[in-house]
Chain A
Amino acid sequence: MSSGKAWVFGENVDTDQLAPGAFMKSSLEELSRHCLESLRPEFASQVGPGDFVVAGKNFGMGSSREQAAQALVHLKVAAVIAPSFAGIFQRNAFNLGLLVLECPQAHQLHEGDTLAVDARKGEIFNQKTGERLRCAAVPEFLMEMLENGGLVPHLERKLRERKR
């Protein structure tokens, strides 16, 4: 289980903050540089591979633009941890290979905490405090899709199997 640092955000982080409309025509790389900049301008340039985004309820609300999740995948965020997610964002995240974890106690995590997660078990381990938090275990078929790298590689595999 690899670990990463927590970046903490508030409630109702929306898709316009994750993927600003003005950069929707730009490349994913360019768009990702502006991910969450209206909330924390330093985020995109300083977030490290394997870090965690920790937020308040209803993360990812707003539009269906999946660049909102894609930008976080591009920045190599390991998972988003929040008490609840907007439905479309949650689906998009799994489809693009981004783990999202529903954790009612997400507010007990703090900026800079070092975290590790076990999505199948539904557990978040805070290495800084030694605490273990419960989160909703991710259903097996979604874990499979995640491990295949998201919906597209997952479908590629399934379509190949069907042809056989």
Chain B
Amino acid sequence: MQIHSMPQTLAEKILSRAARKASVHPGEIVTCQVDLAMIHDSGGPRRVGPILRRLGVPVWDPERVVVITDHYVPTFDADSEQILALTREWVRAQGISRFHDQQGICHVVLPEQGHLQPGTLVVGGDSHSPTGGAFGCYMFGVGATEMAGVLATGEIWIRVPETIRLEWRGAFAPGVVAKDVMLFLCGKLGMDGGRYQAVEYAGEAIGAFSMQERMTLSNMTAELGGQAGLVAPDEQTAAWLRERGADPGDWSKWQSDPDAAVAEHHVFDASQLTPQVAAPHSPANSAAVEKFASVVPDVLYLGACTGAKLEDLRAAARLLQNRKIRTGLEFWVAPASVKDREQAKQEGTLSLLEEAGAKLLPSACGLCAGYGPQRLGPGQVCLSSTARNFKGRMGDPSAQVYLASPLTLAATALAGRIADPREFLKDVA
């Protein structure tokens, strides 16, 4: 008699391994071994350090900890300087070698520096930690106290999630990108649509997305309310990781079994999706771009881990090349990482943006976190490539933040009002 093992979803497979069990089942609470922990300057050392001191233990394994500074970068006052100094000191004292100081936003730096491997359990001290799911990692965000617990013990409890499969069949139209997919999904399923379960993006349209586009999907799983946002690894994943010095491991086994039970399975026709915009003050307030044609922004912000990676910059530059943004408009560009920024500079993408009238900002969280001096003023209207437009996040509570893709930002820069990128794509080669 042949023995069939129970079919499992990708999330269940990763958590089975992390819990050192043959199989796990949705709803079960398991204690997992953490493969990697990532923290940043805001929720990291300044918060976890004192807790570890109180517990009287060092980090459980300095090789399994990555520290990245991005929130209070660049420093702007005595407090922020002290936060970064404390971070550096803690990293030294703990003997952590995987430290990336002011190299860009953590969720972009983590994979680009080769720290991720498919099939692993990764915990991040930030809500957009699901970004690691783009590489087939079960990665999720926790607060600082819980992170201190992880750093002290190397363990974390997880309620094994159900899987919500979001399948996109066919192909997206030109001008429609991952950001549009997520704004659409937030509108359709709501910000609690993910129910803190595992979301898995699947289908040929997702497979056709580049790694950075997949990162945008996984990233905004936070806005969808999922715990993790997974894309099963494929040849592209393995090649991308190898290029960055990471070992993709036995990546091909990290797939959902075709007959694994999922809690929800939504199927979408990719060809039907159009560019989306979310109105203030929620990513779930999304609708087709044409509904917003009367909105005239003061500021365009191409920034954040969600929307200013190399490919986002390239997409915007493609529309803006040899053109000028409307006068009176501010167009701020904060490339998501130093590496992406350097590549964009070298290949001429940055100069295309600058010649069009964009102003370059540091590669850090910046306006998206709203922690620094640069904030939106009262009543300012902003179109942003970031993930969330909650009231008061990026500045004054009366500021109006709309969300869209980098392409829609570029089209808006040219039109002076929120515009459909497809109108402008017709004219570029």
Residues of A within 8 A of B (CB): 12, 14, 16-17, 20-22, 24-25, 38, 57-58, 61-66, 69, 84, 86-88, 90-92, 95-96, 139, 141, 150-152, 155-156, 159
B153 touches A87 (CB 8 A): no
B391 touches A64 (CB 8 A): no
Q: Is B43 an interface residue (CB 8 A)?
A: yes
Task: State the CA gap A159–B70 with chains docked (Å).
Answer: 32
Task: State the CA gap A44–B141 with chains docked (Å).
Answer: 28
Q: Which of B50-58, B95-103, B402-410 contacts A (4 or more CB under 8 A)?
A: B50-58
Partner of B225, one of A38, A86, A151: A86
A residues within 8 A CB of B320? Answer: none
Given contacts A66-B43, A151-B146, 5 further A-B contacts (CB under 8 A): A12-B192, A20-B392, A22-B375, A64-B141, A86-B225
Q: How far is the CB of A107 from chain B (nearest CB, A)?
A: 15
Task: State the CA gap A91–B320 with chains docked (Å).
Answer: 44
Task: State the CA gap A58–B222 with chains docked (Å).
Answer: 13
B196 touches A16 (CB 8 A): no
Q: Knowing A87-B225, A155-B152, A159-B55 are in contact, say whether A16-B390 is a contact too (CB < 8 A).
A: yes
A61 touches B192 (CB 8 A): yes
Q: Is B127 an interface residue (CB 8 A)?
A: yes
Q: Knowing A24-B371, A155-B55 are in contact, say whether A64-B29 is a contact too (CB < 8 A).
A: no
Q: Knowing A64-B143, A92-B145, A152-B55 are in contact, say whether A16-B392 is a contact too (CB < 8 A).
A: yes
Residue of A nearest to B388 (CB): A62
B residues within 8 A CB of A96? Answer: 143, 145
Task: State the CA gap A95–B375 with chains docked (Å).
Answer: 32
B residues within 8 A CB of A24? Answer: 42, 371
Q: Can you name 21 A-B pairs with beta carbons within 8 Å?
A: A16-B391, A58-B190, A61-B192, A64-B126, A64-B141, A64-B143, A65-B143, A66-B144, A84-B195, A86-B192, A88-B142, A91-B142, A95-B143, A95-B146, A152-B51, A152-B145, A152-B148, A155-B149, A156-B55, A159-B55, A159-B57
A residues within 8 A CB of B129? Answer: 64
Q: Is the interface of B mostly helix, strand, loop or mixed?
A: loop
A64 touches B282 (CB 8 A): no
A38 touches B392 (CB 8 A): yes
Interface residues on B, range: 35 or more
Q: How far is the CB of B100 from chain A (nearest CB, A)?
A: 19
Task: State the CA gap A38–B397 with chains docked (Å).
Answer: 8
Q: Is B393 an interface residue (CB 8 A)?
A: yes
A21 touches B143 (CB 8 A): no
Task: State the CA gap A93–B125 with chains docked (Å).
Answer: 15
Task: State the CA gap A95–B147 with chains docked (Å).
Answer: 10
B residues within 8 A CB of A87? Answer: 196, 225, 227
Q: B184-221: which have CB < 8 Å to A?
A: 190-192, 195-196
Please encode chain B, from 126 to 157, with 1 for each CB lying within 8 Å of some chain A CB and 0 for all others.
Answer: 11010000000000111111101100110001
Q: Is B369 an interface residue (CB 8 A)?
A: yes
